[in-house]
Each structure stands twice: as structure tokens, then as C-alpha cells.
Amino acid sequence: MRSSTTQQLTSTQTIIRKNKEKKNFRRTTEKMIPVFLFICAAISVLTTVGIFFTLLKESITFFAEVSFAEFFLTTHWSPWTGDFGVLSLIAGTLLVTFIAICVALPLGLASAVYLSEYASASVRKVIKPILEVLAGVPTVVYGFFALTFVTPVLQSLIPGLTVFNALSAGIVVGIMIVPMIASLSEDAMSAVPNALREGALAMGATKFETTFKVVIPAALSGIVASVVLGVSRAIGETMIVAIAAGATPNFTINPLESIQTLTSFIVQGATGDTSYGSTIYYSIYAVGMTLFVFTFAMNLLSQFIVRKFREGY
């Protein structure tokens, strides 16, 4: 009896000790998880800060040699001849972005409306992943697609169109950002409570009226935020414009001409032909800083729109 009681006591003590060890492990883990998450967040913030100060430092060196007025107020960009008018690069960037949004907004919004309001659950499960696959296609593939397929098609429709042009690049950049706009907009519309739809239908509204007069206004903040993020993505696109749009810094709004964007100049300037410490070398950072300001402003605008027009249910 004593032996059995002793064994039971030992077994109970072992179980208690193991439970204490598990609790101690859980407590240690729970204390480490917030620290780990903080480190991850801090790395992201510090990386952004590091990029900003790197660009700022080198840009200051550039602006010690080239005035702000020459850089931001002149339109002739030819660093190898001493002309640094970045307006031509900005114009090219905005032209491609405008064409991209004209393509992506109707396609993306129509796709989101269909997936959210008209497609069945089984169809949505198939179409949405296929649509999002476009986001995983390398941009260099998009670039060669624009150059070897889209441009010849456009040349058959538009006589005299040059091989390198803003129209082809803008169309393909728009196709590239369709998944972003469609997916985020569909998520925003799916988050609208069904009670709003049912109420509109009960009042006699058609499916079309419910979609465009109830669901879309209710999800407007998410839709606009997706468009702004798409614009930011289009502004920062590199390989498509570098391959399909050419490298001619024209201050123009004609989409049929060859242009150069901020990102494509960075690609061109960051080659072995650019000597370290030269004005051209530092101009890469000045252009990069300009691009950073553009994308940062678009992200701030997106956050402002989300906070301003968010609907609470």
C-alpha cells in the first residue's frame, strides 16, 4: 500500500512539475512574442528611415551643384550634357500613370463588382485566384509583352506609331495593377453588411441599383484607397516603362511618343557608365528622392481617404 501511495504521489508531483514547466514556457513565449513583433516593426521603420536619409544625403550633394530652380522648373533633361530639368521625367511618369489608371480603373472595378455582387461562391473561388495570379507575373515579362505584342497590335491600328511609346507601356502597367484594384475593391464591397443589400431590395431596388447606389457608396473608402495604391504602384513601376516606353525624356502629353520616366532614368543612370561621385551619379538619388516623395504622398493620401470616408457598421 505504501509503495502504491508513494508511486501515486510521485506521479502527481511529476504531473504538477510538468504543468509548471509548460506554464513557464507559455509565459516566456508570451513575453517573447511582443518583443519579436516589435523588432519586426522596428526593422520596417528603420529600413524606411535609412532609405530616406540615404536619398536625402546624396540629394543634398546633388543640389549643392544644381539649383532647385533648374531641377524642378526646367524641362530639358540630359545629364550627360549638363541639363537637369526633371519636369520631362515627371511628365512621362504622370502620362504613363494616367493611361494605366484609365485602363485599370474600369477593368478592376468591374471585376470587383462582378466577384462581389454577381458571381456565385464557386465561381468566385476560381476567378479571384486566377485574377490575382497576374500580380505574381514578373514585371520584366510584362515589359516584353508590351514591346513584342501590345506595340505591334497598336501599330496596326495607329499608323506611324513608334516602337517605343507611352501608350503601350501605360496599357500594360494598367493591366498589371488591375489585380490590386480588383482584389482590394472586392474585399471592401464584401465587407458591406448584407442587411444593406436586403433593405435596398426590400424597398424595390434592382440588383444593379443596389450595387451602384448602396454597396459601392458604402465601400467607397476602400475602393478609393485601392485606386490610390494602384496609382502609387504605377508611379513606381520600372521594368515595363524601361523596356516599352523608351529612354527619350520628352516634356509631352502625347502618348504616341517615346518618353522616359523617373524610374527608367534610375535604371539607365545606374549602369557602369556612370562614374561614382559625378553629378550624374548624384542625380540618380535626386530623382529617387523625387519618386520617394511622390509615392509617400500617395500613401498618405490613401490613409487619409480611408480614415475620412470609412463607414462603421
Query: What is the residue-averaged pLDDT of the chain?
Result: 83
59 & 177 share domain: no
User: Could you tell me if 95 and 86 are in contact, meaning their C-beta atoms sit under 8 angstroms apart?
Assistant: no
Q: Does 299 share its domain with 210?
A: yes
The boundaries of the domain holding residue 30 are 1-64
Residue after which a domain boundary falls, among 41, 64, 87 = 64
29 has pLDDT over 80: no
Q: Given a cut of 70, is residue 288 above it in pLDDT?
A: yes
What is the pLDDT, as a whole number, of residue 5? Answer: 56
- Most confident segment among 13-17, 91-95, 124-128, 196-200: 91-95
Predicted structure pTM score? 0.82
Per-residue pLDDT, 7:
54
Joined together, the cell numbers standing for residue 67 give 539649383
Give mean pLDDT, residues 235-240. 86
Most confident of 9-13, 15-19, 84-88: 84-88
Tell me, yes or no, whether 44 and 161 share the same domain: no
The answer to whether residues 99 and 194 belong to one domain is: yes
Residue 4 — pLDDT band, cuts 50, 70, 90?
low
pLDDT, average across residues 188-206:
84
Query: According to the model, what pLDDT value does residue 12 have?
Result: 60
For the residues of 207-265, what is the DSSP string, one character each? Answer: HHHHIIIIIHHHTHHHHHHHHHHHHHHHHT--HHHHHHT-S-------TTS----HHHH
CATH number of the domain enclosing 172? 1.10.3720.10
Q: Is the pLDDT of residue 8 over 90?
A: no
Regarding whether 156 and 234 lie in a shared domain, the answer is: yes
Residue 19: what pLDDT?
Answer: 62
74 with 210, same domain?
yes
Does 99 lie in the same domain as 13?
A: no
Residue appearing with cell numbers 509631352: 252
Tell whether the model's pLDDT for residue 138 goes beyond 90.
no
Does residue 3 register a pLDDT over 70? no
Domain count, the chain: 2
Q: Is 153 found in the same domain as 203? A: yes
